[in-house]
């Protein structure tokens, strides 16, 4: 494993050894991102650390959920309690799994009850691109944005009919269809997919297979009238997840995740753009073997305004309102609570000569603990036309969820978890198709909520704001992308420290290597994805246990037949390694999956 890290470091630190070119008749387009500032920006000039996963990479991966797409990238660690559809957590730059906001088309889908968003239920077929902003973004998006923000942007109409199907090991079947129409300034897109798998034993000491079913539907309708844009988006994932409980008893649960939004954009003046977003999300899990359930219903209204004060300055401001109901019955504890929150935010972006500056501020007012302020200061210096140096300082927070406040061990007097993050970075555009980036970060988190036992005989206790964490690290990424190759190497070195208990944070590694290589031919594309991770610690009794490091290698390929058909093949865990991302939970052995896709473009 040390040899792999060394070789990757040499590749990452020697980018000039690979020469990329952009042909004279080839247009090298800049990638635009919106999540970092809520305004379109060139990825190369964005001050924040942003990762983009585009539709090309999504199609090639043959991933089965959002987690599969994210785990081969720097700063993103995945922990899964078994196979596809099992409870899945994501750790962004070593922060907790509930320290990242997950959005569908800009709408936050994190539940208000417990844990992070259900990324295991988000299907790749619906995704056009993914934007991941690493680092605090509470000044723009509010609670939970301590580690970062993941924005899943769904596919919009290209005026095509598409059918897809697939099958593979563990009794896995996948099928879907979508229909799109586009005319003038209006567009319509609808899709439906069904995924089923028999699965494999989730627990290491069991031989009972646990399956998963997912039915996903999406709808988009948009039109433009004059200077006014109107868009309706809908996403729903529902199905059943089978698993083994604490005593290894086979049980199952039904789930439903839903997001619906109505967006109105208009221009009151030539230099003033305004957007009103009304959204409704539902997150529900109901146990089939007991009366237990959790449910979140949230309605939000976000009024965002951007004013171009000059060619060098843009001012953004908005108001955010949230009405939420959280309801739960779990292990004998029940609650049914309403929570209404408000916030105002302001962002100023300036650019002059070779300098860029971003200032952002948010004030939130929460029923559960009162007011809280967060901010970001980011600076960029364009040392040359190809090299940008960045520095940033920002704060984030996570409001205690309803389970923290009212569930088992609930404490209504809890405060928000708060963080302060410092970051230095550089971004080097070596050539038309080659880039290198480096970020060093130091994130300190206070007031972490921890359950404290007050009566060992009955295990009674209370949640308290007593824990602290500090995550320091460095990320390096080198990339080459042209018509023939897509190469990516990333190295992450970090120290995810539980300061309170003087130990490594659970399920987070100190060293990770990710590599991706894809070769494009006339009709055939193929490549490999590699993940090498260091040992980690995990939950154990009476003390945390060690999980060994592992190497995961996946193969993917795509063959195009004419203009309408394409075949895909993926071999997961090509080396057939036995590994765990969570203690005592199995991961997939070597498994092959095939897909077929038919697209009929509009005439």
Confidence of residue 292 (pLDDT cuts 50, 70, 90): very high
Confidence of residue 432 (pLDDT cuts 50, 70, 90): confident
Calculate ∠ Cα 531-534-536, nearest 5°: 120
Q: Residue 49 forms beta bridges with which residues?
A: 134
Instruction: Please state, for a pLDDT cut of 70, what percent of the chain lies above it.
Output: 95
Per-residue H/E/C for 244-265: ECCCCCEEEEEEEEEEEEEEEE
Confidence of residue 10 (pLDDT cuts 50, 70, 90): very low
Report how far residue 389's alpha carbon sits from residue 125's, in angstroms, rounded to the nearest whole number: 36
The pLDDT score that the predictor gives to residue 601 is: 85
Check pLDDT > 60 for residue 1.
Answer: no
Average predicted confidence (pLDDT) for the chain: 92
User: Could you give all domains of the chain from N- to C-terminal order, each with its CATH number?
Assistant: 2-13+44-601 (2.40.170.20)
pLDDT digit string, tens, across residues 517-537: 999 999 999 999 999 999 999
The pLDDT score that the predictor gives to residue 571 is: 98
Helices (H), 402-497: 402-406
Classify residue 342 as exposed, middle or buried by CB count within 10 Å of its CB (0-12, 13-18, 19+).
middle
pLDDT digit string, tens, across residues 394-406: 999 999 999 999 9
User: How far does CA 109 lie from the centroid of its chain?
Assistant: 11
pLDDT digit string, tens, across residues 114-141: 878 999 999 999 999 999 999 999 999 9
Instruction: Please state, for a pLDDT cut of 90, what percent of the chain lies above it.
Output: 87
| DSSP per-residue letters across 524-564 | EEEEEEEEEE--EEE--SSS-EEE--EEEEEEEEEEEETTT
Calculate ∠ Cα 508-512-516, nearest 5°: 130
Rg of the chain's alpha carbons, rounded to an integer?
A: 23
Report how far residue 259's alpha carbon sits from residue 110's, in angstroms, rounded to the nearest whole number: 11
Check pLDDT > 50 for residue 4.
Answer: no
Residues 124 and 158: beta-carbon distance below 8 Å = no
Distance from the first to the final alpha carbon of the chain? 53
Report how far residue 590's alpha carbon sits from residue 554's, in angstroms, rounded to the nearest whole number: 9
The pLDDT score that the predictor gives to residue 170 is: 98
The pLDDT score that the predictor gives to residue 30 is: 63
Mean pLDDT of 212-225: 96
Mean pLDDT of 512-517: 97
The pLDDT score that the predictor gives to residue 107 is: 97
The pLDDT score that the predictor gives to residue 595 is: 97
Picking from 299, 374, 396, 376, the residue whose alpha carbon sits closest to that of residue 341 is 299
Per-residue H/E/C for 290-322: CCCEEEEEEEEEEEEEEEEEECCEEEEEEEEEE
The pLDDT score that the predictor gives to residue 39 is: 93
Cα–Cα distances (Å) from 511 to 7, 438, 470, 491, 531, in that order, read 14, 15, 16, 8, 11
Tell me if the pTM is above 0.85.
Answer: yes
The pLDDT score that the predictor gives to residue 156 is: 85
Mean pLDDT of 482-507: 96
Check pLDDT > 70 for residue 3.
Answer: no
Check pLDDT > 90 for residue 9.
Answer: no
Cα–Cα distances (Å) from 596 to 160, 193, 213, 315, in that order, read 16, 14, 20, 47
Mean pLDDT of 79-107: 96
The pLDDT score that the predictor gives to residue 455 is: 78
pLDDT digit string, tens, across residues 187-206: 999 999 999 999 999 999 99
């Amino acid at each position: 494993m040390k040899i792999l890290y060394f070789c990757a470091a040499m590749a990452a630190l020697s980018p000039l050894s690979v020469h990329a070119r952009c042909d004279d008749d080839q247009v090298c387009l800049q990638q635009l991102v919106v999540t970092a500032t809520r305004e379109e920006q060139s990825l190369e000039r964005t001050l924040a650390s942003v990762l983009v996963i585009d539709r090309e990479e999504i199609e090639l991966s043959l991933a089965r959920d959002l987690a599969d797409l994210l785990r081969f990238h720097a700063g993103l660690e995945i922990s899964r309690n078994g196979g596809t559809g099992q409870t899945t957590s994501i750790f962004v730059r070593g922060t907790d799994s509930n320290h990242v906001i997950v959005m569908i088309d800009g709408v936050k889908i994190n539940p208000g009850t417990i844990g992070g968003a259900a990324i295991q239920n988000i299907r790749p077929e619906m995704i056009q691109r993914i934007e991941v902003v690493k680092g605090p973004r509470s000044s723009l998006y509010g609670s939970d944005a301590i580690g970062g923000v993941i924005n899943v942007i769904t596919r919009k109409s290209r005026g095509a009919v598409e059918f897809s199907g697939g099958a593979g090991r563990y009794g896995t079947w996948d099928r879907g269809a979508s229909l799109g129409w586009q005319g003038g300034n209006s567009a319509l897109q609808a899709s439906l997919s069904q995924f089923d798998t028999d699965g494999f034993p989730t627990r290491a000491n069991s031989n009972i297979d646990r399956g998963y079913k997912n039915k996903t539907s999406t709808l988009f309708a948009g039109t433009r009238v004059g200077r006014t844009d109107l868009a309706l988006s809908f996403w729903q994932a529902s199905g059943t997840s089978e698993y083994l409980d604490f005593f290894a008893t086979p049980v199952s649960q039904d789930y439903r995740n839903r997001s619906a939004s109505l967006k109105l954009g208009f221009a009151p003046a030539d230099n003033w753009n305004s957007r009103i977003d009304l959204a409704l999300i539902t997150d529900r899990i109901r146990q089939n073997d007991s009366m237990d359930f959790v449910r979140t219903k949230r309605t939000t209204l976000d009024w965002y305004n951007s004013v171009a004060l000059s060619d060098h300055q843009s001012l953004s401001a908005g108001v955010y309102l949230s009405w939420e109901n959280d309801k739960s019955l779990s292990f004998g504890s029940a609650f049914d609570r309403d929570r209404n929150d408000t916030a105002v935010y302001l962002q100023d972006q300036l650019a002059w000569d070779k300098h860029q500056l971003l200032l952002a501020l948010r004030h939130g007012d929460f029923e559960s603990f009162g007011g809280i302020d967060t901010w970001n200061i980011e600076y960029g210096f364009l040392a040359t036309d190809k090299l940008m140096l960045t520095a940033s300082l920002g704060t984030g927070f996570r409001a205690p969820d309803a389970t923290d406040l009212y569930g088992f061990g609930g404490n209504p007097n809890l405060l928000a978890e708060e963080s302060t993050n410092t970051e230095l970075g550089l971004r080097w555009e070596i050539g038309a198709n080659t880039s290198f980036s480096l970020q060093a970060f130091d994130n300190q988190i206070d007031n972490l909520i921890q359950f404290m036992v007050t009566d060992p005989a009955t295990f009674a206790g209370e949640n308290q704001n007593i824990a602290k964490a500090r995550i320091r690290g460095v990320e390096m990424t080198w990339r080459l992308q042209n018509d023939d190759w897509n190469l990516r190497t990333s190295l992450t070195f970090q120290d995810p420290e539980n300061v309170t208990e003087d130990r490594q944070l659970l399920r987070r590694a100190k060293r990770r290597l990710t590599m991706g290589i894809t070769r494009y031919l006339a009709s055939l594309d193929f490549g490999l994805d590699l993940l090498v991770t260091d040992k980690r610690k995990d939950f154990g009794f009476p003390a945390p246990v060690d999980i060994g490091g592992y190497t995961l290698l996946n193969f993917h390929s795509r063959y195009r037949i004419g203009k309408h058909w394409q075949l895909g093949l993926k071999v997961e865990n090509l080396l057939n390694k036995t590994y765990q991302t969570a203690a005592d939970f199995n991961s997939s052995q070597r498994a092959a999956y095939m897909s077929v896709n038919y697209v009929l473009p509009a005439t």
